[in-house]
Structure 1
Amino acid sequence: MKHLLCVLLCVSFIFPLTALDTQSYSFIDHLLSISQAKAPEIYEDGVIFTFPSTYRRVGIAFAHEGYSRVYWFKKLLKHDDIPPGASKNQSGNDLVGFKDSGILFYVYEYPREVRELQYRLVIDGLWQRDPLNPLYRTDPSTGLAYSVVTLPPPSPIRSTYDAPAGSLRFSFSAAPGERVTVAGSFNNWDPFMYELEEVSPGFYLLTLPLPPGKYQYVFFYRGERVLDPNNPRKVYTRDGRTASEAIVP
């Protein structure tokens, strides 16, 4: 998923953002607000790494993966105010309406079990620590420096883990007498199949038996797609939308 996220964000700067929901747009809007390369930033469930685009190629590799794979940074493209009638040759851009922000970036959705990211950069073919990150250590066995990002503790997922084994329990609070449904990867995102029961005024509940695995889902309330307000875990789906995620052990 973390690889998909990086590709998704890059593509989103080239194609219109109207296909993305509010949460996904919020993440991209934050990314586009970055004005210069800086130390890594934790935002939602990911870490945003940036670097000046004056370098030809920048990659990143992580200690918990044994530095076995390099993830390459992408150019952060922003909207360019091109005068009416100007061509891409006149503006100097390869993409009409976009300009190079001077920033390379990579977004990494860190594993929930990892409490500290240890990483090194590959800058124009040379391995080194991140010069924009003041936090680093030196490996005593090799003498090589690596950069460090301290991660927050994982947030508990409350609304879906009080269910019997082999099931998920979905709860939602709203005005009494409403219709609330849930859709997700377990029913091909059908918004009409599963309706929550109003077990008390304004409190809706549904328990679904499901095999072990990860499931993405959203609620539908008054025609709107709504993330689970009691579940801080959010992921990006294949179509670029944001969904809540829960696990059946």
Structure 2
Amino acid sequence: MKKIFMLIGSMLLFATSFAPISAKDAAPQKDTYEYDLTLTEISGIREPYISNNYVVFTAPITSNSIGIAFDFEEFRKIHYFKIKKNYGYEGDITSSYYFYILEIPKKLPRISYRLVIDGLWTVDPRNPNVTYNEIENYSLSYIDLPPVEFEITEKLDNGMTHFVCHAESGQKIRLGGTFTNWDSWVYEMKETVPGKYEINIPLHPGTYYYSYYSGITSFLDETNPSRGYSTDGRIVSCITIK
């Protein structure tokens, strides 16, 4: 009898281990189209530049490793460059170089950074923009970012998340996402000024996917460049609360 129960338990464990995951339970995948496009467009070594909501850094492969640290992270984290190889028609490598792609932080007028080349801190030799930190007694490279033209969706200091939609005036704009189980009738946004709809909702730390709705039509949050896929395959907006 004991052997029979052990056999039944093993069969149940086997069935559970290989049970298919339904589309409803599968987590949405973040859309990497803009990142992939930015990576494809890198053509060689040059000073840092902005493309598709990213800042692109490049460097020659004349060292074993290159890292980069940013002021908005208080220089606590080093992000290491990767190697990109370009190939000719016959499959041979025509060129190769280091690169790092940074998604532009929201609402920052400027980012300052330092490179770590083979373990040594230094400014970016390909960036002519350098400033001096008198308090810490070192130089920093910097990049001025495009100004934010209008209010954006973001987390507020009071723990709420502020959603903004810029659309034609006089509509009833709703918000729905994974935090409402995709029920778009839970939150209706308020038109605070003509053409701007807003709402604040509490969200715990985590990654959420959402869309705006007008009638039965859903559309993306154009103030937020982060994208993902809903469980039914639609491209939706994505926000991570830390």
Asked if these proteins are the same fold (TM beyond 0.5), I'd say yes
Q: 5+ unaligned residues in a row in structure 1: which ranges?
A: 1-18, 84-90, 93-98, 174-179, 198-205
Q: CA deviation at 1:154?
A: 2.9
Aligned partner of 1:194 in structure 2 is: 184
Q: Is the 8 A contact 2:67 2:117 kept in 1?
A: yes
TM-score, normalization by structure 1: 0.56
Q: CA offsets, 1:181-230, max 9 Å, x none?
A: 96533245x4xx42699xxxxxxxx9988425685423589x998423xx
Match of 1:217 in 2: 210
User: Cα RMSD over matched residues?
Assistant: 4.8
Distance 2:102 2:44 in 1: 18
Displacement of 1:121 after TM fit? 0.2
What is the rounded CA distance, in whole Å, between the counterparts of 1:213 and 1:155 in structure 2? Answer: 28
Q: What is the alpha-carbon distance in structure 1 between the residues aligned to residue 47 and residue 128 of structure 2?
A: 8
Within 1, Cα distance between the matches of 2:129 and 2:161?
43
Q: Give the C-alpha shift of residue 131 in structure 1.
A: 0.5
Deviation at 1:129, TM superposition (A): 0.3
Q: Closer, same or farther in 2 for the Cα pair 1:154/1:194, shift >3 Å?
A: same
Contact 1:157 1:233 in 2 (8 A): no
Matched, 1:131 2:137: no
Q: Deviations over 1:146-203 (max 9, x none)?
A: 101112233424799xxxx998576866xxxxxx996533245x4xx42699xxxxxx
Deviations, residues 84-132 of structure 1 (Å, cap 9, x unaligned): xxxxxxx57xxxxxx6851322222344343221111011222110011
Aligned pair count reads 196
Query: Would you say 1:227 and 2:224 are equivalent positions?
Result: no
User: CA offsets per residue over residues 15-34 of structure 1, 9 Å max, x none?
Assistant: xxxx875xx42442232111
Select the residue among 73, 76, 83 that pairs with 1:68.
Answer: 76
| 1:63 maps to amino acid | D
Shift of 1:140: 3.6
Counterpart contact for 2:67–2:81, Cα < 8 Å: yes
- Identity among equivalent positions (%) equals 27
The structure-2 alpha-carbon separation of the partners of 1:171 and 1:81, relative to structure 1 and needing over 3 Å to count, comes to same
